[in-house]
């Protein structure tokens, strides 16, 4: 197809360009030019539309969709602790068919909001991974599934610095072979040697390795008290993941440590807010040179909507940090940066020979027109009602232009 007269965010720097002509063949951006292009197949005049890269939700837990707003007046541990939280009880007691139904609806909800790829931390071992695959099987969305084994070290095991038991290692092998990597709950639940076991298994299979860390002051203090180190220091020493989720209560030394090791950070601002965990210091992370992406986290806590995430983060960051985040930097977090952190090849920005994932925004809509700054318009004015269409791999999967 040929899309004429469209504005777009082009290349890794998301340069705003107007009145370009784009040819999409098979599943890629075949040609992008300011000059007229002769084309005999489907042609669309897209005057008034802004095409941006498909958004990438870098951290979710979509099985929680069955428990939307359950225990909404409770804190983090009571709601989502991996062993004692209400979430675990709900997941264990729910019928499989119900879980897959609501996981699918959350995937469809993401597509309608311009999210063309998402990464999911999937509990439940091999069964959890199979559940995720089943739920998104017929949804035109790209899914990065990060599994885990349902094993958490006892206090005695941690004190003895035990490795993972043989049966747990066998389960870990099955999980890592079936998905895109490990999505580990947190370092406090494991001994140093157990973390090293996860690292070895993931690296042997060339898969992603990710973990939650420093989400709350309580988990941060627990690590200092029981291990004599911050969560981040232990993770860097024994796990060396591809990325860390949250870092909300990390200090400057932790942030610098992660930067030096080229470990990505995925922040979840609205989830942290609803749980009272704090606000991630994203300006500080950017100043240190960190690569930062954004996730919407548990559907139990809030909707999987990256536009709301961008708006929230832009404003609260300005309230707590002296260095203001630019709107353009924020848009990079849900496109270019997220693709890099999740190792999604040929995704994250619009350029020739890149995979054709895109969101088409109506700049004539009453929320946006007149558009003086495209990045600010995306961050604080765009919502589902302004999206004309969503494309995945060169195919319109929602709406039309």
Residue with tokens 């619009």: 350
Q: How confident is the model over 35-52, as a mean pLDDT?
A: 94
pLDDT of residue 250 exceeding 90, the answer is: yes
Task: Give the model's pLDDT for residue 285.
Answer: 97
Domain coordinates of the chain in residue numbers?
Answer: 2-53+348-399, 55-341
Between residues 155 and 97, the one the model is more confident about: 97
- Strands 395-399, 292-294: pairing is unpaired
Residue 54 DSSP symbol: P
pLDDT of residue 77 exceeding 80, the answer is: no
Task: Give the model's pLDDT for residue 221.
Answer: 94
For 2-53+348-399, CATH gives 2.30.40.10
| Radius of gyration of the chain, Cα coordinates, nearest whole angstrom | 21
**Contact partners, residue 217, CB within 8 Å, separation at least 6:** 249, 278
**Contact partners, residue 94, CB within 8 Å, separation at least 6:** 66
pLDDT of residue 324 exceeding 80, the answer is: yes
**Contact partners, residue 85, CB within 8 Å, separation at least 6:** 77, 78, 79
What is the share, in percent, of the chain residues with pLDDT greater than 70?
Answer: 100
pTM: 0.96
DSSP 147-213: E--S----HHHHHTTPPPPHHHHHHHHHHHHHSSEEEEEEGGGS-HHHHHHHHHHHHHHT-EEEEEE
Q: Which of 33-37, 80-84, 217-221 is predicted least confidently?
A: 80-84
CATH superfamily, domain at 55-341: Metal-dependent hydrolases (3.20.20.140)
Task: Give the model's pLDDT for residue 74.
Answer: 78
Task: Give the model's pLDDT for residue 342.
Answer: 98
* Contact indicator for 153, 189 with CB cutoff of 8 Å: yes
Task: Give the model's pLDDT for residue 156.
Answer: 86
192-205 vs 166-178: helix axis angle to the nearest 10?
40
* Contact indicator for 153, 184 with CB cutoff of 8 Å: no
Domains 2-53+348-399 and 55-341 share a fold: no
Task: Give the model's pLDDT for residue 80.
Answer: 83
Q: How confident is the model over 84-107, as a mean pLDDT?
A: 88
pLDDT-based confidence at residue 104 (cuts at 50, 70, 90): very high
pLDDT of residue 84 exceeding 80, the answer is: no
Instruction: Enumerate helices (H) and strands (E) in the chain, giving the number of each.
Output: 16, 17
Task: Give the model's pLDDT for residue 171.
Answer: 96
């Amino acid at each position: 197809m040929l899309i004429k007269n469209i504005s777009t965010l082009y290349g890794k720097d998301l340069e705003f360009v107007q009145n370009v002509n784009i040819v999409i063949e098979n599943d890629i951006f075949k040609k992008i030019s300011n000059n007229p292009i002769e084309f005999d197949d489907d042609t669309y005049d897209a005057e008034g539309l802004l095409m941006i890269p498909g958004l990438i939700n870098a951290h979710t837990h979509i099985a929680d969709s069955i428990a939307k707003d359950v225990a909404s007046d409770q804190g983090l541990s009571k709601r989502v602790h991996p062993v004692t939280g209400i979430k675990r009880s709900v997941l264990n007691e729910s019928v499989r068919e119900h879980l897959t139904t609501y996981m699918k609806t959350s995937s469809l909800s993401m597509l309608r909001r311009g999210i063309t790829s998402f990464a999911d931390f999937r509990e439940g071992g091999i069964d959890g991974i199979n559940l995720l695959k089943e739920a998104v099987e017929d949804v035109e969305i790209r899914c990065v599934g990060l599994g885990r084994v349902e094993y958490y070290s006892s206090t005695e095991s941690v004190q003895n610095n035990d490795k993972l038991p043989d049966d747990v290692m066998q389960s870990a092998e099955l999980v890592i072979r079936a998905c895109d990597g490990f999505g580990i709950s947190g370092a406090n639940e494991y001994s140093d040697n157990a973390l090293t076991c996860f690292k070895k298994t993931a690296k042997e299979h060339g898969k992603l390795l990710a973990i939650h860390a420093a989400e709350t002051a309580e988990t941060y203090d627990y690590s200092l008290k029981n291990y004599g180190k911050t969560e981040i220091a232990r993770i860097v020493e024994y796990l060396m993941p591809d990325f860390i989720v949250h870092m909300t209560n990390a200090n400057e030394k932790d942030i610098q440590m992660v930067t030096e090791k080229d470990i990505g950070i995925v922040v979840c601002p609205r989830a942290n807010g609803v749980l009272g965990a704090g606000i991630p210091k994203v300006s500080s992370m950017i100043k240190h040179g960190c690569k930062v992406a954004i996730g919407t986290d548990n559907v139990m806590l809030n909707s999987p909507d990256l536009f709301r995430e961008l708006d929230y983060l832009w404003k609260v960051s300005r309230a707590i940090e002296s260095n203001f985040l630019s709107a353009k930097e924020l848009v990079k977090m849900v496109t270019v940066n997220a693709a890099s952190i999740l190792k999604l090849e040929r995704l994250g920005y619009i350029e020739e020979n890149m995979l054709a994932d895109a969101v088409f925004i109506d700049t004539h809509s009453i929320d946006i027109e007149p558009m003086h700054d495209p990045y600010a318009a995306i961050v604080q004015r765009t919502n589902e009602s302004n999206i004309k269409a969503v494309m995945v791999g060169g195919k319109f999967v929602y709406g039309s232009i």
